[in-house]
Amino acid sequence: MYQVYPRSFADSDGDGIGDLRGILHRLDHLVELGVDAVWLSPVYASPQDDNGYDISDYQAVDPVFGTLDDLDELIAALHEHGIKLVMDLVVNHTSDEHPWFVESRDPTSPKRDWYWWRPPRAGLAAGAPGAEPTNWGSFFSGSVWELDETSGEYYLHLFSRKQPDLNWENEEVRQAVYAMMRWWLDRGVDGFRMDVVNVLSKDTSLPDGPVHGGVWADGSASYICGPRIHDFLAEMHRAVFAGRPERLLTVGEMPGVTIDQARVFTDPARAEVDMVFQFEHVGLDHGPGGKFDVRPLRLADLKASFGRWQAGLADIGWNSLYWDNHDQPRIVSRFGDDGHFRRESATMLATVLHLHRGTPFVYQGEELGMTNAHFTRLDQYRDIETLRHVEASGSLAGVAERGRDNARTPMQWSSDPNAGFSTGTPWIDVNENFGIINAAAERADPESVFHHYRRLIALRHDDPVVALGDFTMLLPDHEHVYAFTRSWDGVTLTVLGNFSGSLQDVVLDHDPGELILSNYSAPATTLRPWEARVHRHVG
Ligand code: ISL
């Protein structure tokens, strides 16, 4: 599955912002790569406070991205190539400019209950310090509560103040969302990636949370996998997906989800979602201060984490596999070496991830080995999470390593001006390295990151052991080498990845068989810097 972040993919009309016709012009790239499905980040009508994750009309395309006709054309064109289209479903919150919320601001409106409106804390006046109904902090810094002066009540927003949370306790809210989802399926889309879908159900008593330092508390115990989440997802499945003849796909984005919960969410017998995006492996290099508190990764921790998820979802459920998306820094800069060994480390990381059991996701540009932005000035950043964090903390520490804009610089198509992304001024700076790292150069070089991704995708399509094989972790304590096997029907793949820039000797206690894929051309016994190898043994 390939994720397109439309704002940064390809701009067809020169306004500096990517759009649907831009994607249509670049379909060859996806076809050549061999992807089965595209996940399209939001293109709905939106004030763009959080780049489209703040939706003001679920059934319209934002003019910045094009029209509904363009989207129909994109769906048809993808389908002609056998590629499915999965839309982003953002229904924990709407935009504050959505007509539902505009109506809800009136305390006498029937839509008042569609959102979480609460009076100030008992004994305190609206707007007084500490008068917020709970002490919870927002994902984007500050309180989760915003005061509406007109009614003197607060509304809940786990994300920005322009993203009020819908009240999923309200039956009409749920039915309105399901109707909207059916409308998209009837239009031909093949499923949904569901934004923060495990926070839909809140503890309605809204208790205060523990303070771990800083002003605002952690309210997550009241909304991560809350009391009615399984009921809601099962109901959604019955109302939207059950009985449809098409093969549809759902993946729920679930920060804080545990393996035990993921087994329940993805148990086919329960019919909730097909897979979840879990966050454990992308939190291993966070310090106690959170994502901007940068710590080095210990490879043994990564292996322990993935190993637990592989074992935990082996018999029931299914894993998603990802390094990158529009919220994460670039993996080659994060766990690899984006300097001298960029090609080697990007291809090694891809090999290790893609040969796990589960459905791999490729985020646009990952297949080119695109790197972090390496921005140096605050005025280069656009992301609301980053800007709010810098405002609240007064510091840029960790932002260059962890800011979400690392993933959001324009797709590097060629060495033309603006990397061939736009003829106008891009909404965010193009990474300075586009002259060297770009799709045209990658396609021309048979040993490139792009062609390695293509080979990994082809291997998954051609050899059933990749999709179906059992997973066994080897060398769990080795500090630099990631090693595992996959077995199915008498075939065993052995996968080795060197997570270091130095030579590593590996002793295996089985014959790994023929070398079928590697990121080095000449054979050798010792693993070279960032080398990846896939061996295949039959019998
Ligand atoms: O990006 C993050 C890392 O700090 C997460 O906290 C992220 O906000 C969380 O994973 C939820 O992400 C999704 O919902 C957000 C949106 O900003 C993200 O882009 C989206 O992927 C609110 O809709």
Show me where the domains of the chain are located. Answer: 2-93+171-210+219-450, 94-165, 470-538
**Number of Cβ within a 10 Å radius of residue 144:** 27
CA of 437 to the centre of ligand 1 (A): 27
C-alpha radius of gyration, the chain, whole number: 23
Q: Does any ligand 1 atom lie closer than 6 A to the CB of residue 255?
A: yes
Q: Does any ligand 1 atom lie closer than 6 A to the CB of residue 291?
A: yes
For ligand 1, atom 2, which residue shows the shortest CA distance?
327
For residue 280, how far is the Cα from the chain centroid? 13
CA of 91 to the centre of ligand 1 (A): 13
Task: Measure the CA–CA gap between 168 and 180, rounded to whole angstroms.
Answer: 15
Task: Measure the CA–CA gap between 54 and 93, rounded to whole angstroms.
Answer: 7
Task: Check: CB of residue 438 under 8 Å from CB of residue 419.
Answer: yes
* pLDDT value for 213: 83
Using a cut of 0.85, tell me whether the model's pTM lies above it. Answer: yes
Q: Does any ligand 1 atom lie closer than 6 A to the CB of residue 488?
A: no
User: What does the buried/exposed string (b/e) look like for 455-465 if buried means 16 or more CB atoms within 10 Å of the residue's CB?
Assistant: bbbebbeebeb
Task: Measure the CA–CA gap between 83 and 456, rounded to whole angstroms.
Answer: 17
List average pLDDT for each run of 10 residues in the chain, which is 539 residues long. Answer: 99 98 98 98 98 98 98 98 98 99 98 98 97 98 97 98 98 98 98 98 98 93 98 98 95 98 98 98 96 98 98 98 98 98 99 98 99 98 98 97 98 98 98 98 98 98 98 98 98 98 96 97 93 97
For ligand 1, atom 7, which residue shows the shortest CA distance?
327
Q: Does any ligand 1 atom lie closer than 6 A to the CB of residue 90?
A: yes
**Number of Cβ within a 10 Å radius of residue 282:** 22
Q: Does any ligand 1 atom lie closer than 6 A to the CB of residue 408?
A: no
For ligand 1, atom 10, which residue shows the shortest CA distance?
255
Known active-site residue 253: yes
Task: Measure the CA–CA gap between 487 and 535, rounded to whole angstroms.
Answer: 12
Is 94-165 in CATH node 3.50.50.60? no
Residues 6 or more apart in contact with residue 57 via CB below 8 angstroms: 44, 45, 98, 99
What residue ranges in 142-253 does DSSP mark as E strands? 145-148, 153-156, 191-194, 249-253
Task: Measure the CA–CA gap between 79 and 148, rounded to whole angstroms.
Answer: 46
CA of 71 to the centre of ligand 1 (A): 24
Strands 191-194 and 249-253: parallel
Q: Which CATH superfamily is domain 470-538 in?
A: Golgi alpha-mannosidase II (2.60.40.1180)
Known active-site residue 285: no
Burial degree of 173 (CB within 10 A; 0-12, 13-18, 19+): buried
Residues 6 or more apart in contact with residue 88 via CB below 8 angstroms: 39, 40, 41, 42, 52, 53, 192, 193, 195
173's enclosing H/E stretch is helix 171-187
* pLDDT value for 214: 85
Which candidate in 19, 132, 165, 195 is catalytic?
A: 195
Task: Measure the CA–CA gap between 326 and 474, rounded to whole angstroms.
Answer: 31
What tokens appear for 482 in the block?
């990631």
> Matching CATH topology for 2-93+171-210+219-450 and 470-538?
no
Q: Which CATH number fits domain 2-93+171-210+219-450: 1.10.3720.10, 3.40.50.300, 3.40.50.2300, 3.20.20.80?
A: 3.20.20.80
Residues 6 or more apart in contact with residue 325 via CB below 8 angstroms: 3, 277, 361, 363, 407
Q: Does any ligand 1 atom lie closer than 6 A to the CB of residue 50?
A: yes
